[in-house]
Structure 1
Amino acid sequence: MQTVETLNEGLKRAYTLTIPFADIEKQVDQQLEEISPQVNMPGFRPGKVPTNLVRKMHGEAIEQDVVNKAIQTGIQEAMADQEIRPAMQPEVELDPDWERGKDIEISMKVEVLPEIPETNIDDISLERLTVEADDKAVDAAIESLAENQKSYDTAAKTYKAKDGDLVVMDFEGKVDGEAFDGGKGEGMSVTIGSGQLIPGFEDQLVGVKANDAKEIKVTFPDDYNVEYLAGKEAVFDVTVGEVRKPKEAKVDDEFAQSLGLEGIDKLRELMKGQVEQELNGLTRTHMKRKLLDFLAANHDFPVPPTMVESEFNQIWSQLEQEAANEADPEAAKKEMEDEKDEYHSIAERRVRLGLLLSEIGQKNGVEINQTEMSQLIAQAAQQYGPEDRERFIQYVQQDPMAAAQLRAPLYEDKVVDFLFENATITDRTVTRDELEAAIEAEEEETQKPAAKKKAAPKKAAAKKPAAKKSAAKSSTAKKPPAKKAAAKKPAAKKAPAKKKPAAKKAPAKKTAAKKSTADES
C-alpha cells in the first residue's frame, strides 16, 4: 500500500491511500481455494466443483469482503505508520470513479490530538473552603425533613380549604366538551400551593369544603407534554372528598421512630452525616473549579476543531431547549446569537481541559479498574427498561467508543482527585452562604453567558434517611420529573433506545427545562 500526505495544516491531516488491486485478487484467490473443498453443486462430487464455478458463485461477495477489510486495514496501517493520534474517527472516502480491476484509491481526512505541554503538578496551590456541620445546620436539615414528612388531620366538613391544606378529590376533565384520555381520577390528593398541578388549578381549590362540587377552568401550557392538549382550555368537574389540615410536626423520638429509627439521637447522627456529605460536595465543587481555572490559565495549545464543534453543538442544543421555554423565546434566541462567540470559547475551554486532564492521567498512571467499569455500566443501565438493560450492557462492552464515553466523567474525577492529593492545599472555614456565593462567583466568571441565565444556588433539601416509603396512588396529575443533564462528551453510536415513559395526561405542570451543562469547566 502507498500512503501520500496531501494536507498538513495545524491539527488537520489528509492522505491518499492506494491499495494495489493485485493484492485484492491474491486474497480473493486464497479464500476461494480455502472454501472450494466445502462447496457442493449438483452434478459434481463434494469438493470437486471447478474453481471457475466457485468464483462465479461466491467470488463477488468474497471480493467485496476483501476490499472492505483491505480498506480498514489500510487505514489502521497508515495511522500507525504516520504515528497519528486521531482526535475523532477519520473521514474516509473511496474514489467514486473506482472500477473493479483498478487499484483502490482512498482519501482519508483526520484531525490529530495536539502535543500537550507537561504539567508540573507540584506547582498547584488551592484553597479549600470548609463549612462545619454544626447543630444549627443539622437542626435545619431535620426541620426540612419534618416539613416533607408532614401529616394531616381531617378537617370539619364546614372547614374551608386554604393555602397549605391538602384536598382529596375526584375529577374529570374535558376539552371542547369532550373527555380526554387520562383526564379522570379518583381520590387524588393535592396540597394547595405545592405547584403539583398546572397553573391556576390549585388556586381555585382555595375555599372548597368536603363534599363540594366545583368547576375549574384552566389552560394547558403551550409546552405540555401531551401534544394534543398543549395550549388548550380545559374544564374539570371536581368533587371534594375531604379537606385535611397539616399537623405541626414534632421532632422527637416518636417522629424518628416513624422513619424506622431508634430515636431522635440516631436521626441527628444520620442527618449530621448527610449534611457533612452535602457540604463536602460543595467544597469539592469549589476546589475543582479553582483547579480547572489554574489549568486553563497555564495551558494554551490548539484543540481539534471537530471536537470543539461537537461540544459547542451540545451546549447550543441545550440552550435552544431552554430558550423555547422562556416567556419570550425569540428574545432569548437573539440573546444566544449575540453571545455565540462566547459559547464557542466555553466549548473550546472544555475540550482543552478534557484533553489536558486525560494526558495528566495517562502520564501518572491514573486508571479505572474493571470493577469500577462494571459498576459504571450497571449503574448506567438502570436508566433503561428491563428489556433494554442487557442490550445496553452488551452494546457498551462491544463498542469501544461507547465505553470511552461512559468512563470519561469518572476518569476525569479520578484525575482531579489525583491532582488534589498532590496540590498544596490551605484550609479556611467559612459559612455555607459564603461557600455558595464563592461557587456562584466562580461560575459567573468562567461561564459568563450561561451564568446570566442561572439563579443563585439553593440549599439542597435534606434527604430522608433510609426508611420504608409509603405507596402513593398512581396519579396522572403529578408533575413529570425533569430529565438529568446529558453527559458532556461527544456522542458515540446510538445505544438501545430508552423505553419511552407513558405521557402524563391530566393537569400536570410543565416539565422544568434542563440546566446548562456549562457548570464545572
Structure 2
Amino acid sequence: MQVTETLSEGLKREFTVVLPAKDLEERLTNELVGLKDKVRINGFRPGKVPVGHLRRVYGRSVMADVLQNLVNETNRKIVEDQGLKLALEPQIVFPESKEEVEAAMEAKGDLSYKVSLEVLPKFEIQDFAGLSVTRETYEVPESELQEALERLAQQNRQFSSKEEGAKAEKGDRVIVDFVGSIDGTPFEGGAGTDVPVDIGSNGFIPGFEEQLIGAAKGQELTITATFPAEYGAAHLAGKEAQFATTVKDVQAPQAVEINDEFAKQFGMENLDALKTALTEAISRDYTAVSRRKLKRQLLDALDAQYAFDLPPSLMSQEFDNIWRQVQADMQQSGKTFADEDTTEEEARAEYEKIAARRVRLGLVLAEIGEKAQVQVSDEEVSQALVERARQFPGQERMVWDFYRKNPQALAEIRAPIFEEKVVDHILGSANVTEKKVSKEELMAEDEDEKPAAAASAEDKPKKARASKKKAEAAEPASDTPQTNASE
C-alpha cells in the first residue's frame, strides 16, 4: 500500500491511500485458499474445490472483506506511524468511478481512496498545586433533625373519618371525585376518582386545596383554580379551570408519637437508631451539594488554565446534544425564543460556548486521567449499572441486558465514574480549603459561579440562564473519555 499525506491543517489530516492490484490479488487468493477446507460444494470433495471456482462463487463477498480489512489496517498504520490521537473514527471516501471500484473488486486495478482524520489537540498539563478551591461544609443541627423526624411522622400519619356533617379544616384529608374542564370542555388528565387531598400540602394546583376548607361529606361543589404559567403541559399552562367536585369523605389526622415504636415502623431498633440513620441521610445530601460546588470550582479553574483548538466534529456533536435538549424543553413548555426575550441566534451562540467548555474540559480530564493511569474497574461499572437498573422497578433485567449488549450505552455508565476519579486525583494535589457555612450559603446558587465562557448574567435572557444551567449539569452521552466533563 502507498500512503501520502495531502493535508495537515490545524486538527485536520487527509491522506491518499493506494492499494495496488497485485496486493489485492494476493490477499484475495490467500483468502480463497483458506476457504477451500471450510466450504462444501456439490460435486467436489472437501478441500478439492478449485480456487478458480471458489473465486467465481465467493470472489466478490471475499474481496469485500479483504478491502475492509485492508482499510482498517491502513487506518491503524497511519495512526501509529504519525503518532496521532483521533477525535473520531476516520472518514473514508472511495472513488466515484464505478469502473475503478469494479476493477479493484476483481483485483484487476489499483484502488485509490482518501482518509480524513480529525486529531486531538496537544497541550501540556499544568501543575495542580496552583489550583485553589474551597470545600464548603455544613453540620446538621439538632433542630433540623427534629424537623425531619416531624416531617417523617406527618408523612406516615394515619387518618380517620370525621363524624357525619363535620367540615374539612386545614391539615385534614378530603377524599374527592372531580372532573376538570376549561371553558366547559373536559381536558385530558383532568378527572380523578377517590383522590386523597391533604389540605395545606400544596400537592395540587394553587387554590384547589383551600376551596375544600369547610366542605362536608356528600357535598358537591365547583372549584375554580388556575394552572401555573410554567405548568408542564403547555395546553394547560396559565389556564383557568373548573373542577366539578364531590366530597366522599373528610378525615382528620391521628396523633403520632415519635418514640421507639415509631422508629420500629422503619426497621430501626429504637428512636436513637432512626435519628442516626436520618442524620446520615441528610448529611449525604449536603455532602453531595458540597461536592458538586467544589467540582464546579475546580472545573472553572481548569477552564481558565487551558486554551487550545477544539476538534470541530466533537464540538458539533456536543452542541447538537445540548440543542436537541433545549428544543425538547421548549416544545414541552410550549415556549418560543421570543417568549423568553431572546432569539434563536443568541441562544445558539450561548449554547455553543457551553459545548466548547464541555469539550475542552473533557479533553483536559481525559489527558490528566491517561497520564495518571486512572482506571475504571468492571466491578465499579457493574455496581453503577445495578444502581441504574434500580431506577426502573420491574424492568431491572431489561435495563441490565440493554447496557450489557450495547458498548456505547455502557460507556455512558463508565464515563462519569472516570470523571469523578480524575477529579479526585486533581483534588489530591490542589490547594483545598475547608470552610464551614450555613445551610443557606451551601444551598445558594451564585451566578458568579457560572462558567467564564458564558455571557454575563446581566446580558443573558432568563431562558438562557435556566437552560444553560441544565445543559451544564447534564452528563454527556459519549463513549469517548475526552468528552466526560459535564460541569
Please tell me the TM-score bracket, short chain as reference.
0.7 to 0.9
Secondary structure at 1:85's aligned position in 2?
Answer: coil
For residues 222 and 95 of structure 1, the distance between their equivalents in structure 2, rounded to whole angstroms, comes to 57
Structure 1 position 230, deviation (Å): 11
CA, structure 1 residues 261+92, in 2 after alignment: closer, same or farther (shift >3 Å)?
Answer: same
380, 384, 400: which one aligns with 1:376: 384
For residues 435 and 234 of structure 2, the distance between their equivalents in structure 1, rounded to whole angstroms, comes to 52
Structure 1 position 411, deviation (Å): 0.9
Structure 1 position 387, deviation (Å): 5.7
- Paired position in structure 1 for 2:129: 122
Secondary structure at 2:36's aligned position in 1?
Answer: helix
TM-score, normalised to structure 2, is 0.80
Deviations along 1:61-92, whole A, 9 cap, x unmatched? 11122222222222222222222201122222
- Paired position in structure 2 for 1:54: 54
Do 2:403 and 2:410's aligned partners in 1 also have CA atoms closer than 8 Å?
Answer: no
346, 355, 371: which one aligns with 1:363: 371
For residues 31 and 400 of structure 2, the distance between their equivalents in structure 1, rounded to whole angstroms, comes to 36
For residues 383 and 106 of structure 1, the distance between their equivalents in structure 2, rounded to whole angstroms, comes to 48
Secondary structure at 2:101's aligned position in 1?
Answer: coil
- Paired position in structure 1 for 2:299: 292
Q: Name whichever of 407-416 and 370-379 sits farther off.
A: 370-379
Secondary structure at 1:119's aligned position in 2?
Answer: coil
Do 2:3 and 2:17's aligned partners in 1 also have CA atoms closer than 8 Å?
Answer: yes
Structure 1 position 250, deviation (Å): 4.6
Do 1:381 and 1:392's aligned partners in 2 also have CA atoms closer than 8 Å?
Answer: no
Secondary structure at 2:92's aligned position in 1?
Answer: strand
443, 462, 470: which one aligns with 1:436: 443
What are the residue-to-residue correspondences of 1:127-146 with 2, within 5 Å? 127-146=134-153
For residues 121 and 428 of structure 1, the distance between their equivalents in structure 2, rounded to whole angstroms, comes to 20
For residues 519 and 333 of structure 1, the distance between their equivalents in structure 2, rounded to whole angstroms, comes to 30
For residues 218 and 142 of structure 1, the distance between their equivalents in structure 2, rounded to whole angstroms, comes to 33
Q: CA RMSD in A?
A: 3.9
TM-score, normalised to structure 1, is 0.76
What are the residue-to-residue correspondences of 1:79-228 with 2, within 5 Å? 79-97=79-97, 98-101=100-103, 102-162=109-169, 164-170=171-177, 186-192=193-199, 194=201, 196=203, 205=212, 207-213=214-220
321, 331, 340: which one aligns with 1:314: 321
1:392 aligns with 2:402: yes
Secondary structure at 1:100's aligned position in 2?
Answer: helix
- Structure 2 gaps of 5+ residues are 104-108, 467-472
For residues 211 and 479 of structure 2, the distance between their equivalents in structure 1, rounded to whole angstroms, comes to 46
Secondary structure at 1:334's aligned position in 2?
Answer: coil
Q: Name whichever of 93-102 and 81-90 sits farther off.
A: 93-102
CA, structure 1 residues 213+316, in 2 after alignment: closer, same or farther (shift >3 Å)?
Answer: same
Aligned length: 464
1:26 aligns with 2:26: yes
Compare relative contact order (CA 8 Å, sep 6+) and give the higher one, 1 or 2.
1
What are the residue-to-residue correspondences of 1:40-79 with 2, within 5 Å? 40-79=40-79
Deviations along 1:95-134, whole A, 9 cap, x unmatched? 2224222322222222111112122122222222222222
Do 2:475 and 2:486's aligned partners in 1 also have CA atoms closer than 8 Å?
Answer: no
CA, structure 1 residues 28+233, in 2 after alignment: closer, same or farther (shift >3 Å)?
Answer: farther
For residues 231 and 432 of structure 1, the distance between their equivalents in structure 2, rounded to whole angstroms, comes to 33
CA, structure 1 residues 293+78, in 2 after alignment: closer, same or farther (shift >3 Å)?
Answer: same
- Structure 1 gaps of 5+ residues are 456-484, 493-517
For residues 188 and 325 of structure 2, the distance between their equivalents in structure 1, rounded to whole angstroms, comes to 31
For residues 205 and 345 of structure 1, the distance between their equivalents in structure 2, rounded to whole angstroms, comes to 50
Structure 1 position 262, deviation (Å): 3.3
Deviations along 1:177-222, whole A, 9 cap, x unmatched? 9999988765332334656556776566555422334567899999
CA, structure 1 residues 200+120, in 2 after alignment: closer, same or farther (shift >3 Å)?
Answer: same
Structure 1 position 328, deviation (Å): 4.5
- Paired position in structure 1 for 2:476: 488
- Paired position in structure 2 for 1:337: 345
For residues 300 and 20 of structure 1, the distance between their equivalents in structure 2, rounded to whole angstroms, comes to 43
Q: Name whichever of 254-263 and 299-308 sits farther off.
A: 254-263
Identity of aligned residues (%): 34
CA, structure 1 residues 263+372, in 2 after alignment: closer, same or farther (shift >3 Å)?
Answer: same
Do 2:365 and 2:485's aligned partners in 1 also have CA atoms closer than 8 Å?
Answer: no
For residues 81 and 369 of structure 2, the distance between their equivalents in structure 1, rounded to whole angstroms, comes to 26
Secondary structure at 2:307's aligned position in 1?
Answer: coil
Secondary structure at 2:428's aligned position in 1?
Answer: helix
- Paired position in structure 2 for 1:281: 288
CA, structure 1 residues 157+313, in 2 after alignment: closer, same or farther (shift >3 Å)?
Answer: farther
Deviations along 1:366-423, whole A, 9 cap, x unmatched? 2212211222333334456356335324324xx3x44443312111111111122222
For residues 49 and 327 of structure 1, the distance between their equivalents in structure 2, rounded to whole angstroms, comes to 68
Secondary structure at 2:356's aligned position in 1?
Answer: helix
For residues 226 and 128 of structure 1, the distance between their equivalents in structure 2, rounded to whole angstroms, comes to 39
